[in-house]
Amino acid sequence: MIKMVAGTFTGSVIYSHAVPAILGFTGLILLCNGMMDDKRDQVLAGLGLFFAAGLLPFIILPLILGI
C-alpha cells in the first residue's frame, strides 16, 4: 500500500511540476526563435507546447490520482 502511495505521489509531482516546466521552457524557446527567424512553424509549435504545459496537468493528474 505504501509503495502505491509513493508511486502516485512521485507521478503526480512529475506531471504537475517537472513536465510543465520543461514543456513551457521549450515552448518559449521555440516561440522566440520562430519569431526572430520568421518561421511560422516554430512559432506554432512553441505556442502549442506552451499551452500544453498549462493544460496537461489538468488532464493527466485526475487520471493518476483517480479523481
pLDDT higher at 49 or 11: 49
For residue 15, the model assigns a pLDDT of: 77
Higher local confidence (pLDDT), 10 or 54:
54
Average pLDDT (34-45) is 95
Q: How far apart are CA 67 and CA 52, in angstroms?
A: 21
Residue ranges covered by each domain of the chain: 2-65
Backbone CA torsion sign across 7, 17, 58, 48: negative
Q: Which three cell numbers stand for residue 3?
A: 509503495
Binned at pLDDT 50, 70 and 90, residue 4 comes out as low
User: What is the rounded distance in angstroms from the CA atom of residue 39 to the CA atom of residue 10?
Assistant: 38
